[in-house]
């Protein structure tokens, strides 16, 4: 076996010539993936003047040097473009989206937690914290059960941080 199973990093062998080349290639991949961040996941054409270390998730319809690399993480290095095919579980922050994408083994998907809330199956289920709601008081007719229920709902919302206390 000359590559690691998950990320295809080159392995070193006893007596191998030019080990530094293989070692450096592995470091480039680690640098791209460890706490990774890409500029965008919506670009199909390589940028004209990328900076060293910048990465992108190659969008569908890729052209130029990115042709045939759709879905891969493309990183600009001093040796040119390096492509890393994603594996299930890879999570990477996307600068122009403001949240991470994760790879499910087949597709890149939006992260469940984003700046504006929690999403399940692409639908926002919990949003940003809202202003405080005062506990019910007063009124001409007092319904103790309704007031108790409303108070319990407010306690739950405050406990979970969904509204301010």
Rounded Cα distance, 152 and 46, in Å: 55
What ranges do the domains of the chain cover?
Answer: 1-128, 129-165
Residue 42 sits at the vertex; the CA angle it makes with 125 and 24, to the nearest 5 degrees, is 110
Report pLDDT digits (tens) over 126-151. Answer: 877 777 888 877 777 878 888 888 88
- Phi and psi based region of residue 58 (left: phi greater than 0; alpha: psi -120 to 50; beta: remaining): beta
Q: Quick one: what percent of the chain has pLDDT higher than 70?
A: 96
Q: Could you tell me the end-to-end alpha-carbon distance of the chain, in angstroms, rounded to an integer?
A: 59
Total-model pTM? 0.66
pLDDT of residue 47: 97
């Amino acid at each position: 076996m000359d590559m690691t199973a998950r990320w295809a990093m080159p392995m070193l062998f006893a007596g191998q010539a030019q080990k530094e080349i293989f070692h450096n290639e592995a470091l480039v991949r680690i640098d791209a993936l460890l706490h990774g961040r890409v500029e965008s996941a919506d670009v199909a054409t390589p940028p004209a003047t990328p900076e060293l270390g910048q990465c992108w998730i190659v969008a569908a319809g890729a052209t130029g040097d990115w042709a045939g690399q759709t879905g891969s993480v493309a990183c600009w290095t001093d040796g040119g473009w390096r492509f890393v095919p994603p594996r299930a579980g890879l999570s990477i922050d996307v600068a122009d989206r403001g949240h991470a994408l994760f790879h499910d083994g087949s597709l890149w998907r939006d992260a469940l937690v984003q700046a504006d809330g929690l999403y399940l199956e692409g639908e926002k289920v919990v949003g940003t914290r809202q202003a405080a709601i005062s506990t019910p008081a007063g009124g001409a007719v007092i319904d103790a059960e309704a007031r108790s229920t409303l108070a319990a709902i407010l306690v739950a919302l405050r406990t979970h941080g969904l509204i301010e206390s």
